[in-house]
Structure 1
Amino acid sequence: MNLDLRFAVGFALGGGLATVSVLLFRVTLKMAPKRPHYIAIVTAAAVVGAAVAVWPPSLIAAGVLLVMLGVPAAAVDVVEHRVPDRLTAPLAAGMTATLVTAALIAGSATSLTMALAGAAVWGGVLLVSFLFTGDPGPGDVKLAPSLGMLLGSLGWQWLLTGIVASYLLAALFAGLGLLAKRWSLRDGRLPLAPPMLAATVLSATIAALSG
């Protein structure tokens, strides 16, 4: 299957999985969702699905988890400035199960070790920051190990790329929010889950395309 076709199939499948993403968003959100929220989630799910379609087969299941659980978690963070445990907990459990299974099937102890190291590194970085500064929020800290596990399985360079990219995208995200008057400097904490998710998907996709 050529690259364009894989993107198209992934886009379609991601859009289909958006039904699950929207449902989880609705049952997790405390306020009443609005139509723009649904449009954003379906679009994000389709885009992530397109990216996941070019990942190695061993990571497809992990990518599906990001579509179904990561996308609504990021959406809740945008709307309510929190990343719910009801989404991060099953994401962590599912990511662990899929990556451990993939490593066992491939007989790659190195991949498994790197995945666990990735979870510890990204989760540890945010935990230390939270304990000393109060930022980012606890939900972001709980999201980080799942994303770190995925990127860690690809290698140290992609883990570090994802972590650095998440902060760069967060700065861009914050700037756009300020320009659009979606947030103000007085608001304090800005949503970090969306740039974390975007950086993870982008890094994993570049890793896959670069071989």
Structure 2
Amino acid sequence: MASSWWWSCGAAAGLVLGAAASGLTRRFLRQERKLAATWWFGAVLTAAALGLLGWRVGARGELAVYGFVTVLAVPLAVIDWCEHRLPRALMGPLLASTMVGFAALCLVRRDPAPGARALAALVAAGGLFLILAVTTGGGIGAGDVSAAAVVGLVAGWIGWAQVAGALLTASLLGSVMVAVPGVRRRAEDGAVAVPFGPCLLAGALVMVLANG
């Protein structure tokens, strides 16, 4: 019964917050996208994600942090899907605010261990993608590095296994996208490029939902 109540609350909040956050999608999309920029599209996606989070996480402080990440992650995922880029003006606040949220939980609970692990995972995941960005010669952008850092932070709060699971899930989703002609693009050097931001953010969401 309690899970159903939290699911309903999460979905209702997602409709409102998703509709509001769709303004960010319209602001940062460089080209007009009729479906992607509509308020109801963002509202439905956010409502679905927050409903699931409410159902799995329930009355815990993490729900506020995960919810904030999700509300900003939806516009980021839509923008990256449409234009293969993650705006720094959104990634920076997302990363900083998530760090502040987890730090507050550590202070309230007087338990710094999850926060320390989350920071270490942030450095590990972000560092890994930074190395990949340098060695692949543009296959991975700065936005993907920031997204990987966010994934490391969120999944690292739960555990190291979840960090690995989130990155593995993202890689599997990316492999699937390579086979979709409407999603993949050809870079100037002939390499196939896919929007990896949605894959990373979805990987983090899957780990959170899997672990409650």
Q: Distance in 2 between matches of 1:174 and 1:10?
A: 33
Amino acid at match of 1:102: L
Q: Which amino acid aligns with 2:49?
A: V
8 A Cα contact 2:14 2:50, kept in partner: yes
Q: 1:14 deviation in Å? A: 1.1
Specify the SS of the correspondent of 1:82: coil
Per-residue deviation at 1:83? 0.4
TM, length-normalised to structure 1: 0.89
Identity %: 23
SS at match of 1:35: coil
Give 3-state SS (helix, strand or coil) of 1:153's partner.
helix
Structure 2: distance between partners of 1:119 and 1:72: 22
Corresponding residue number in structure 1 for 2:16: 16
Q: Is the 8 A contact 1:21 1:67 kept in 2?
A: no
Q: Work out the CA distance in 1 between the residues paired with 2:171 and 2:203.
A: 9
Q: 1:18 to 1:170 in 2, by over 3 A?
A: same
Is 2:10 the counterpart of 1:7?
no
Distance 1:118 1:40 in 2: 32
In the aligned structure 2, how far is the partner of 1:112 from the partner of 1:161? Answer: 19
For residues 182 and 191 of structure 1, what CA distance do their matches in structure 2 show? 8
Give, in angstroms, the shift of residue 5 of structure 1.
2.9
1:88-135 Cα shifts (integer Å, max 9, x gaps): 000011001001111111111211111101111111111110011132
Higher fraction of helix: 1
> What are structure 1's unaligned runs of at least 5 residues?
none
TM-score by length of 2: 0.89
Aligned to 1:50: 51
* Cα gap change, 1:92 to 1:182, in 2 (>3 Å): closer
Q: 2:98 — aligned with what?
A: 95
Shift of 1:172: 2.1
Residue 83 of structure 2: aligned partner: 80
Equivalence for 2:195: 191
For residues 1-211 of structure 1, the aligned pairs below 5 Å read 1-38=1-38, 39-53=40-54, 54-55=56-57, 57-133=60-136, 134-175=138-179, 177-178=180-181, 181-184=182-185, 188-208=192-212
Give the whole-Å Cα distance in 1 for the aligned partners of 2:10 and 2:207: 17
Q: CA deviation at 1:86?
A: 0.9
**For structure 1, which segment, 131-140 or 199-208, has the greater mean C-alpha deviation from structure 2 after superposition?**
131-140
Cα distance in 2 for partners of 1:173, 1:50 equals: 26
Indicate how the Cα distance of structure 1 residues 109 and 36 shifts in structure 2: closer, same or farther if over 3 A, else same.
closer
Q: CA deviation at 1:184?
A: 5.0
Residues paired across the two proteins, number? 205
1:201 CA displacement: 0.7
Separation in structure 1 between the aligned mates of residue 94 and residue 185 of structure 2, nearest angstrom: 31
How far did 1:32 drift?
1.8
Q: After TM superposition, what 4+ stretches of structure 1 lie above 4 angstroms from structure 2? A: 184-187
Paired residues of 1:15 and 1:49 also in contact (CA < 8 A): no
Contact 2:36 2:78 in 1 (8 A): no
Measure the CA separation in 2 of the matches of 1:107 and 1:34: 47
Q: Is the 8 A contact 1:21 1:45 kept in 2?
A: no
